[in-house]
């Protein structure tokens, strides 16, 4: 169990937010601030091997869920807490809900299903990140140019470049533990299963143009583990629903927590 780096704001009903693969808690700060202003105690965390949280050779969902349990214990979070996770963070949140159901009031999963993924869609991103030679790369622009040889999307590159930081010796490095994430990509794609379903309320938010949650997931995969769940589709949004349609996500979460 690792002690996660987190940021806290606001007072009221607790809401814990977990980011996705290659992300940090900063990805959710605009919405976190809005939920705090709306009357919630919002805790955003960096998952292991991401952001400012510790690195570890293990990167599995049981390990991530145990880290989150440690955060709950550290902050004295009770069973009225809502846990929200996006993508990889959504799978970590599902694992937590299934492993520690008594610690949670409600679950929110953003654009990910419990089923397995072969993670081939991450190949170009891994190739790009691993291609940056920090002995030669002396600027953000140089890092972007290296990424661009593998990743055509400007938006994806900008998202990844949020991981770039200067070390004490002024050289650049990635905040993510890239060697471990590269080695553990199959584990990140693994299916979430449970001996017992999570019976409390769960909200799955999916982007209307994203394929991370499909018809089969809605019909069978999600209800099998989360029988008291609903799926809300945000039209004209892709996988990064919260950055593409923040007002819609804000409203859905507010209504669900208040229901």
- Which residues are part of the catalytic machinery? 87, 239
Q: Quick one: CA dihedral 258, 215, 119, 185, positive or negative?
A: positive
Q: Which two tokens stand for residue 57?
A: 């050779």
Beta strands at 202-207 and 229-234: parallel, antiparallel or unpaired = parallel
β partners of residue 233? 206
Token duo for residue 186 = 């199959």
Closest CA to 80 of 25, 12, 31: 12
Report yes or no: 9 and 37 within 8 Å, Cβ to Cβ. no
Distance CA 214, CA 123 (A): 22
């Amino acid at each position: 169990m690792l002690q996660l780096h987190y940021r806290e704001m606001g007072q009221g009903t607790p809401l814990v937010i977990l980011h996705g693969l290659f992300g940090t808690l900063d990805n959710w700060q605009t919405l976190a601030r809005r939920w705090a202003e709306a009357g919630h105690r919002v805790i955003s965390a960096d998952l292991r091997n991401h952001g400012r949280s510790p690195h570890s050779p293990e990167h599995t969902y049981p390990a991530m869920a145990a880290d989150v349990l440690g955060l709950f214990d550290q902050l004295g979070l009770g069973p009225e807490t809502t846990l929200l996770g996006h993508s990889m963070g959504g799978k970590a949140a599902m694992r937590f809900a299934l492993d520690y159901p008594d610690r949670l009031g409600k679950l929110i999963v953003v654009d990910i299903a419990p089923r397995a993924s072969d993670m081939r869609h991450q190949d170009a991103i891994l190739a790009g990140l691993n291609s940056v030679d920090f002995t030669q790369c002396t600027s953000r622009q140089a890092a972007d140019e290296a990424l661009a040889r593998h990743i055509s999307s400007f938006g994806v590159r900008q998202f990844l470049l949020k991981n770039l930081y200067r070390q004490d010796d002024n050289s650049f490095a990635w905040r993510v533990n890239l060697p471990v994430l590269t080695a553990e990509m199959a584990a990140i794609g693994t299916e979430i299963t449970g001996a017992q379903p999570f019976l409390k309320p769960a909200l799955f938010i999916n982007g209307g143009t994203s394929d991370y949650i499909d018809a089969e997931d809605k019909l069978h995969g999600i209800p099998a583990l989360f029988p008291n769940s609903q799926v809300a589709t945000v039209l004209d949004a892709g996988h990064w629903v919260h950055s593409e349609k923040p007002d819609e996500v804000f409203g859905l979460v507010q209504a669900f927590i208040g229901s």
